[in-house]
Amino acid sequence: MSTPVKKVPIHLQSSQNRLLIKNGKVVSDEEITDEDIYVEDGIIKQIGKNLIIPGGTRVIDARGKYVLPGGIDPHTHFEFEFMGTKSVDDFYNGTKAAVAGGTTMIIDFVFPKKGESLIDAYYEYRQKADGKVCCDYSLHVCLPYWSEQVKKEMEILCKEHGVNSFKMFMAYDFMLNDAELYSAFDQCQKLGALAQVHAENGLVIAKNAEKLLAKGITGPEGHELSRPEEVEAEAVNRACVIAKQVDNPLYVVHVMSKSAAEILDQACKRGTRVYGETLVAALGTDGSHYKHECFHHSAGHVLSPPLRPDPTTPLSLMNFLAQGVLQVTGSDNCTFNKSQKELGKNDFRKIPNGVNGVEDRMSVIWEKGVHTGILDPTTFVAVTSTNAAKIFNLYPRKGCIAVGSDADIVIWDPVAIRTISVTTHHQAVDFNIFEGMQCHGVPQYVIVNGRVCVDEGQLRVVEGHGHFVETPTFAPYIYDPEKLASLRAEKNGVDDEVDQLQRIHTVHLEDDTLCPTPTLPDSAVSTPSCRGARPEGQRNIQQSTFSISEDLDVERKSCIRVRNPPGGKSSGFW
């Protein structure tokens, strides 16, 4: 495995090596506390009040601001060759835009061509991304076909290359059939990897599309008409049924409709371990845009599954997040310029699928979720960062503000307002689905691995500052919640009995004997899963120690602890 190229010598960052964030409201997925945070060499070293810190430390005053774990976007497609073209946000532009919006880690998808070795494709992605990324990243791997070789390579990716999740498609011409899904899920189960599905019934979509074209419906409106929400819901149900047969946890990517979310809720109540991700696109806008007379406008909103014409969908999906029926938000950032969307000018089937979102995800979810009072800030942190970190086994290195965690921190101004526009966004794409949206909630500072990359609103990213982060299999969140609870207690330095992992499911289920935890193979507990050479600068999160720095006077107790504050507006607590 090649070592990522660091373009910026470490000494250039020395003035920013030590950082104290004072007076902020520190938000985790379960509480808000008044604490200061001391960061050194990219790692959170102390948390508390009256910290003793070395001279020369830069101090950032976060009074009146929230201090959040950096956002984690678990669903991006940078420089993705798809539908005869290539997405325009590359790993540099894409991660730069992510950081501008308060996201400090992304997970992209390796997409092998049909018949191509998964390992070769993985290396191609590493080569594309390493040296370009402005923040840390991990990789999921797609399975666009099924074979014995694929099965073997899945094992190698898990054991040697830091991959713990695979995406299967139930639509597109690279979809797997039910038997293949069964086999792929089964292999994920054996490896302790997470099976992800793109859930839409591809055969039904193809028939619907033929019929629409025969009727002369060729424009972008045909895209949604050919894949209505029951076509999504049916596939979600089928995926849940198949996953249950092999007792495999399932992660449904881009849940775009009420019907699909309801199916997930029912499946979970029946005892399937299933996690749901929705998209900022689905929370922030809707399918009414497909009726827009301008092709560029309507085609600019084309993604799959599509935005729904039912105008109550965004609010319903936000409520599903608040209730814990859905746990994660991604962007599915897969951007194509207007000229690329024109590939489908006369046939909606050929419009490259994908929209923006990596830059605006945090602000749009704050605006539509927290500012409206549907989500409290702790749930915001859960659905934009912590839950993804737990599910993809990055926690507690990522997804929380804790001693020993990476210093990926956002100082969030809940009162400031920004207006989203293609003219000011940092993405390469020439269209923005959130054009004109006013958002309360702006990242004032974004700290990526200890480096201040948004500084009083000014973007100062460094190409190549990020690293690939391995994701070990058998995530404790999924397989061993007790272990995760003890990890959390250890890093907090307190005997915290609260199993916050369970929190999501407790909210969700009347009966917490549902969604049972499977028996974990011994090997999974004792052996770190990534055996391959570790690129420079990476820590194995399974081996991390989360102890308070020696001989430093740390006052551990916070001034205010607000457990699960009731939903309410973000402003007005100080």
- Distance in Å, CB of 5 to ligand URP, minimum: 28
Q: Which residues pair with 110 in a beta bridge?
A: 141
Distance CA 75, CA 282 (A): 14
Q: Is the CA virtual torsion 157, 161, 164, 168 positive or negative? A: negative
Q: Which residues contact 407 (CB under 8 A, 6 or more apart)?
A: 19, 39, 42, 43, 44, 447, 449, 450
In the bound state with ligand URP, the residue whose beta carbon lies nearer, of 36 and 73, is 73
Q: How many CB atoms lie within 10 A of CB 147?
A: 12
Binding mask 105-144 for ligand URP (x = CB under 6 A): ----------------------------------------
The answer to the question of residue 74 lying near ligand URP (CB under 6 A) is no
In the bound state with ligand URP, the residue whose beta carbon lies nearer, of 13 and 85, is 85
Residue among 332, 408, 470, 490 that touches Zn ion (CB under 5 A): 332
Preceding amide of 443 cis, omega within 30 = no
In the bound state with ligand URP, the residue whose beta carbon lies nearer, of 28 and 327, is 327
* Cβ(144)–Cβ(156) below 8 Å: no
In the bound state with ligand URP, the residue whose beta carbon lies nearer, of 44 and 303, is 303
Residue among 340, 353, 356, 386 that touches ligand URP (CB under 6 A): 353
H or E element that contains 492: helix 481-492
CA separation (Å) from 76 to 109, 280, 363, 492, 538?
A: 7, 12, 17, 32, 22
CA separation (Å) from 79 to 102, 189, 343, 464?
A: 21, 30, 18, 16
- Distance in Å, CB of 87 to Zn ion, minimum: 10
Q: Which residues contact 372 (CB under 8 A, 6 or more apart)?
A: 318
Distance CA 106, CA 489 (A): 26
Distance CA 126, CA 257 (A): 33
Q: Which residues pair with 459 in a beta bridge?
A: 454
The answer to the question of residue 332 lying near ligand URP (CB under 6 A) is yes
DSSP per position, 60-82:
EE-TTSEEEEPEEEEEE-TT-EE
Binding mask 257-296 for ligand URP (x = CB under 6 A): ----------------------------------------
354 binds, among Zn ion, ligand URP, none (CB under 5 to 8 A by kind): ligand URP
- What is the number of alpha carbons within 13 Å of residue 391 lying toward its C-beta? 31
| Residues binding ligand URP: number (CB under 6 A) | 9
Residue among 303, 370, 453, 475 that touches ligand URP (CB under 6 A): 303
Candidate ranges 91-99, 201-209, 324-332, 396-404; the one touching Zn ion (CB under 5 A): 324-332
The answer to the question of residue 361 lying near Zn ion (CB under 5 A) is no
By beta carbon distance, the residue nearest ligand URP is: 353
In the bound state with ligand URP, the residue whose beta carbon lies nearer, of 135 and 142, is 142
The answer to the question of residue 408 lying near ligand URP (CB under 6 A) is no
In the bound state with Zn ion, the residue whose beta carbon lies nearer, of 198 and 361, is 198
In the bound state with ligand URP, the residue whose beta carbon lies nearer, of 354 and 476, is 354
Q: How many CB atoms lie within 10 A of CB 164?
A: 29
In the bound state with ligand URP, the residue whose beta carbon lies nearer, of 144 and 354, is 354
The answer to the question of residue 198 lying near Zn ion (CB under 5 A) is yes
- Distance in Å, CB of 231 to ligand URP, minimum: 14
303 binds, among Zn ion, ligand URP, none (CB under 5 to 8 A by kind): ligand URP
Binding mask 174-213 for ligand URP (x = CB under 6 A): ------------------------x---------------
Distance CA 190, CA 521 (A): 9
Distance CA 94, CA 199 (A): 25
The answer to the question of residue 73 lying near Zn ion (CB under 5 A) is no
- Distance in Å, CB of 513 to ligand URP, minimum: 34
Residue 512 burial (C-beta neighbours within 10 Å; 0-12, 13-18, 19+): exposed
The answer to the question of residue 77 lying near ligand URP (CB under 6 A) is yes
In the bound state with Zn ion, the residue whose beta carbon lies nearer, of 198 and 505, is 198
Name the residues that contact ligand URP, by CB under 6 A: 77, 198, 254, 303-304, 332, 334, 353-354
Name the residues that contact Zn ion, by CB under 5 A: 198, 332
